[in-house]
């Protein structure tokens, strides 16, 4: 990861018990799977019948067949039934459910299942989400959006979601019982964009003060979320206490054993209560009791005691004692507690976590009371270098995305082959599941769909064959040009290296002459002109798929990526012109760069997924008063730009190529930069770039703290028409023809 990458901390696991009766059981009228079916297939729901069957040897199972003119969906729970539905939609109706389109369009008559289908998953657990996803993507989600996501999870066989919404209300209630006033807690609770790093013990207070109204409404929202997930047979993963306490704790409990830690990135120290202090178990018990009272429990708890912080000593006894106390703080309240430990630290701080230290940390916990998440398996599988976590059950995960950045990226060959390879590897120890742990989602839908293809199979996926079927399902028809385009995408953007997520455009960097920017990694793992070939193929057939939501999203995304890539060589021409003091060339290339930003903005403005205005509008929708709305807008603006104050070391970490952000934030920064360097040539003086950076920092902070600019909340322009116009303008120069 990039230095200080704010990462994800997850947790999770679920044990689904076998059913009691062997016979098939008809659905109940209010069955959650029935409601999901109606949301997905609408008026065709009566053509389906839902029945329940038992697990097979403790593993989830579904069946699909046609009987008496009906499509019968069978499963041992709602997730299995939904998976049967998704299998039918994909393999018989050739329809792909995705973030871009979650409603099936079924014709008459429905396709018959000629031969009964039965699938048993080889994975007990199918984990989903990351601490960071709750902020980089989900910060402003309401119940409607959450319901859609839970449907998507069930259709794809996910049965173990991380559930963090509403946790700030639990923390408030616990600390109130310990004598803290709401005023005293104001410096503790962050704003809604930064909860993940509050929960993980990295920061206090940034983006606050947090309104009580937020806590109350999101407590209610969490109750809806976990109720729906459990009704479908999912097992929720809730957090446990890891020692993070308010900054005023030292005054309330002067004799408490506290330690200061600093995550870095310019944020203040936070206080962590030492697990050896008797208050640790007391507060841990209070936390679980309050959480269970509000949200119930499935007995799986996420806890990471050394989140991107190095322990004070390598001493084995110390590490073993700490882990024993953390576990006891859970088990004393919930004897069924299973600790879900994030394996990220073993990669992030691999110089510290040698075999002796890892085994010491694990030794104090019974094997059946801990599960380790191998967080970044598709690129950096820790299980291979640390003896499969020394006998602890573990889960193989795809991380893929950092910071919610916009960019086409993935490692398709690894995602298609590595889970099955691990499943059959005798050195894999107690591999219990697979999962998705992105810092941000709602991007690269093909990669997520491919990864989830592993849920109901124990053999590798043939990527080429799979992509042919995927393209047909996603766009509704077979098309040779589309299949060729996806072959190119597989060999370019989806053959990513071991870098940290997608390549980012130099456009989003604070202006520089360097080929890369602070936290903006522009290196490509492929020839950008190859991607231009895929773009041309999609543009050629665009009129045939003009009304297909998934096609227009992909068309816009590929166009965005092509233009974003082109910014780098153009920026380097600017740097060379400046070095040569060629004012005419500098002006020409600078204007072309600014026009490129405008054109990129016009392309992404055609799709709702790329709108800054929607992000801000969703944030403001949670406020009751103007003050609350403005707090939320600041959180929304700051996260995707500065990630802190004007001197934040994390600026650009969560950069987005979004309409509105491109024109109002990135473009004006570059305009100021170009004005300064052109002036330096005119005056024959070296540009004072440090002074310019300080000026830009002040300007950026002013932008982040502004409210009410009225960014568009709805798409503008026809995606196909806009892309065709951009293609005509740029294709020759991008293909190297001039």
Helices marked H in 580-709 — which ranges? Answer: 583-604, 612-620, 626-639, 661, 667-683, 689-704
DSSP 8-state class, residue 275: T
- Spans of all domains in the chain: 25-120, 125-461, 476-491+527-607+717-738, 608-714
Specify the pLDDT at position 1. 39
The band of 6, judged by pLDDT with boundaries at 50, 70 and 90, is very low
* Average of per-residue pLDDT values in the chain: 94
Domain 25-120 matches domain 608-714 at the CATH topology level: no
Helix axis angle, 549-579 relative to 719-734, nearest 10°?
Answer: 40
Angstrom distance (rounded) from CA 737 to CA 384: 47
- Under 8 Å between Cβ of 361 and 321: no
Specify the pLDDT at position 27. 54
Lookup: tokens for 385:
């270098």
- Residue 605 sits at φ, ψ, to 5 deg, of -65, -15
Angstrom distance (rounded) from CA 86 to CA 67: 18
Specify the pLDDT at position 306. 77
- Under 8 Å between Cβ of 163 and 52: no
User: Coil, strand or helix: which one is 238?
Assistant: strand
Lowest mean pLDDT among 23-27, 184-188, 599-603: 23-27
Decide if pLDDT at 9 tops 60. Answer: no
- 679 vs 19: which has the higher pLDDT: 679
The band of 23, judged by pLDDT with boundaries at 50, 70 and 90, is very low
Mean pLDDT of 411-425: 98
The band of 29, judged by pLDDT with boundaries at 50, 70 and 90, is very low
Specify the pLDDT at position 14. 35
Compute the half-sphere exposure of residue 561: CA atoms within 13 Å on the CB side of its CA.
Answer: 29
Q: Which CATH superfamily is domain 125-461 in?
A: Glycosidases (3.20.20.80)
Angstrom distance (rounded) from CA 367 to CA 372: 10
Angstrom distance (rounded) from CA 300 to CA 435: 16
* Overall pTM surpassing 0.85 (yes/no): yes
Decide if pLDDT at 279 tops 50. Answer: yes
User: Coil, strand or helix: which one is 71?
Assistant: strand
Residue range 608-714 forms a domain whose CATH class is mainly alpha
- Across 99-103, 323-327, 496-500, 614-618, which has the greatest mean pLDDT? 614-618
The band of 265, judged by pLDDT with boundaries at 50, 70 and 90, is confident
Q: Which CATH superfamily is domain 25-120 in?
A: Chitobiase/beta-hexosaminidase domain 2-like (3.30.379.10)
Q: How far is CA 727 from CA 537, 599, 631, 723, in A?
A: 11, 11, 40, 6
pLDDT tens-digit readout, 691-711: 999 999 999 999 999 998 789
- Under 8 Å between Cβ of 561 and 538: no
The band of 345, judged by pLDDT with boundaries at 50, 70 and 90, is confident
Specify the pLDDT at position 30. 57
Decide if pLDDT at 635 tops 70. Answer: yes
Cα four-point dihedral sign 681, 684, 690, 692? negative
- Under 8 Å between Cβ of 4 and 308: yes
Tokens 């953007």 sit on residue = 493
């Amino acid at each position: 990861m990039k230095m200080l990458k704010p990462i994800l901390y997850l947790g999770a696991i679920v044990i689904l018990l076998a059913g009691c009766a062997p016979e098939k059981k008809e659905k109940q009228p209010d069955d959650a799977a029935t409601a999901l079916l109606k949301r997905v297939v609408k008026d065709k729901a009566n053509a389906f019948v839902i029945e329940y069957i038992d697990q097979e040897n403790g593993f989830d199972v579904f069946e699909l067949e046609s009987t008496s003119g009906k499509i019968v969906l069978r499963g041992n729970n709602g997730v299995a039934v939904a998976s049967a539905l998704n299998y039918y939609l994909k393999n018989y109706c050739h329809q792909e459910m995705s973030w871009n389109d979650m409603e099936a369009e079924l014709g008459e008559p429905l396709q018959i299942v000629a031969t009964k289908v039965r699938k048993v998953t080889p994975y007990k657990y199918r984990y989903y989400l990351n601490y960071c996803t709750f902020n980089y993507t989900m910060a402003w989600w309401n119940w409607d959006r959450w319901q859609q996501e839970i449907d998507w999870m069930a259709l794809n066989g996910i049965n173990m979601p991380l559930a963090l919404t509403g946790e700030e209300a639990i923390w408030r209630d616990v600390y109130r019982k310990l004598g803290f006033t709401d005023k005293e807690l104001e410096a503790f609770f962050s704003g809604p964009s930064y909860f993940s790093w509050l929960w993980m013990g990295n920061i206090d207070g940034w983006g606050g003060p947090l309104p009580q109204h937020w806590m109350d409404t999101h407590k209610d929202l969490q109750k809806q979320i976990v109720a729906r997930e459990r009704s479908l047979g999912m097992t929720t993963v809730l957090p446990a206490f890891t020692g993070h306490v308010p900054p005023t704790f030292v005054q309330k409990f002067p004799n408490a054993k506290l330690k200061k830690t600093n995550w870095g990135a310019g944020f203040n120290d936070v206080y962590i209560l030492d697990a050896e202090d008797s208050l640790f178990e007391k507060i841990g018990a209070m936390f679980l009791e309050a959480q269970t009272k509000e949200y119930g429990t499935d007995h799986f708890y996420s806890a990471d005691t050394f989140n991107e912080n190095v322990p004070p000593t390598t001493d084995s006894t110390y590490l073993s004692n700490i882990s024993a106390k953390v576990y006891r703080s859970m088990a004393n309240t919930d004897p069924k507690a299973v600790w879900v430990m994030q394996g990220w630290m073993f990669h992030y701080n691999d110089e510290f976590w040698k075999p002796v230290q890892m085994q010491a940390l694990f030794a104090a916990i019974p094997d059946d009371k801990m599960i380790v998440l191998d967080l970044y398996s598709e690129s950096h599988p820790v299980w291979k270098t640390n003896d499969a976590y020394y006998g602890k059950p573990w889960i193989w995960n795809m991380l893929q995305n950092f910071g919610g950045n916009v960019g086409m990226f993935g490692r398709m060959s690894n995602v298609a082959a590595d889970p099955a390879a691990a499943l059959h590897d005798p050195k894999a120890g107690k591999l219990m599941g697979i999962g998705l742990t992105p810092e941000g989602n709602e991007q690269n839908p093909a990669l997520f769909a491919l990864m989830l293809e592993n849920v109901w199979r124990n053999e590798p996926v043939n990527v080429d064959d799979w992509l042919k079927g995927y393209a047909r399902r996603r766009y509704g028809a077979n098309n040779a040009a589309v299949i060729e385009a996806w072959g190119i995408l597989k060999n370019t953007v989806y053959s990513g290296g071991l870098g940290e997520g997608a390549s980012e455009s130099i456009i989003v960097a604070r202006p520089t002459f360097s080929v890369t920017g602070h936290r903006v990694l522009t290196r490509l793992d492929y020839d950008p002109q190859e991607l231009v070939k895929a773009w041309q193929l999609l543009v050629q057939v665009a009129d045939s798929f003009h009304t297909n939501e998934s096609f227009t999203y992909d068309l816009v995304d590929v166009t965005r990526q092509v233009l974003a890539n082109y910014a780098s060589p153009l920026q380097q021409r600017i740097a060379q012109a400046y070095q040569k003091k060629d004012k005419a060339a500098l002006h020409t290339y600078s204007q072309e760069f600014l026009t490129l930003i405008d054109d990129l903005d016009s392309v992404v403005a055609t799709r709702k997924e790329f709108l800054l205005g929607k992000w801000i509008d969703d944030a403001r929708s949670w406020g009751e008063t103007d003050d609350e709305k403005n707090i939320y807008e600041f959180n929304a603006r700051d996260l995707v730009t500065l990630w802190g104050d004007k001197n934040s070391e994390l600026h650009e970490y969560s950069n987005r190529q979004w309409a509105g952000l491109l024109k109002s934030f990135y473009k004006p920064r570059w305009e100021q930069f170009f004005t300064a360097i052109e002036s330096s040539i005119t005056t024959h003086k070296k540009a004072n770039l440090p002074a310019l950076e300080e000026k830009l920092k002040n300007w950026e902070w002013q932008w982040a703290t502004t409210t009410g600019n009225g960014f568009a909340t709805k798409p503008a322009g026809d995606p196909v028409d806009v892309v065709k116009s951009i293609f005509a303008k740029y294709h020759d120069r991008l293909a190297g023809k001039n």
